[in-house]
Chain A
């Protein structure tokens, strides 16, 4: 700008004066970033916790507990000298005390 621009300076000074009659809105403040602050810390924390958990499992070699631990199944084997058919004679008395079904008729007469 040079001294010969006085007419223009006057023009813009007048324009500025009129503009100043319009009050600017109040300063709204720097807008907050709602999501960035939250995720900035949560995501690395979650990742670190996952890695730590996997490493702990891997280093201890512990298998995950299962429900089979709560049930005990005992299998025992017995060696006997008896013949395989002996089981059929387990109740020999039933054979010895056999009675004919018509025997009562004979007795009554």
Chain B
């Protein structure tokens, strides 16, 4: 793929990519910017190549996820994407319900699957490609995550 076309696609998905990078970095916007820059560099260097086996967005999200994992591991702040719920950056203006904190109470895998499905509108097949999980495992995380989040919402009376 030519660089011009690649740049156009990246620009078109930039806002979504930034939000996904933020979610992978637990809403730390500074980390998200770093991760996104590193992901773009990987793409520019040809270390990550789009082979059109999936949609561009699916591929880009997978690159961002792997980059975030490496970045967070290097900083020795986290182990993969595991993180305690209380460490999630709070929403600005936290006088109302903190949706991020509520979601962060779920196990990381369930968070990611639900975010990709409901927030980013991905199919389960696409989620399996991004998270490098078997489709059956994704279905399990999806079902359990939904049930757990529903319980939390009811408890918090959102």
Residues of A with Cβ closer than 8 Å to B? Answer: 1, 5, 7-9, 11-12, 14-16, 18-19, 21-22, 24-25, 27-33, 36
Query: Shortest beta-carbon distance, A48 to chain B, in Å?
Result: 25
Query: Shortest beta-carbon distance, B131 to chain A, in Å?
Result: 17
B14: interface (CB < 8 Å): yes
Interface residues of B in 30-51 (CB under 8 A from A): 33, 37, 40-41, 43-45
Q: Which of B2-10, B55-63, B73-81 binds A?
A: B2-10
Q: Which residue of A lies closest to B41 (CB)?
A: A31
Contact B45 A33 (CB under 8 A): yes
Residue in contact with A22 in the complex, picked from B6, B29, B118, CB distance below 8 Å? B29
Contact B40 A11 (CB under 8 A): no
Interface of B is mostly: helix
B22 proximity list for chain A (CB < 8 A) = 19, 22
Contact A15 B119 (CB under 8 A): yes
Contact A5 B18 (CB under 8 A): no
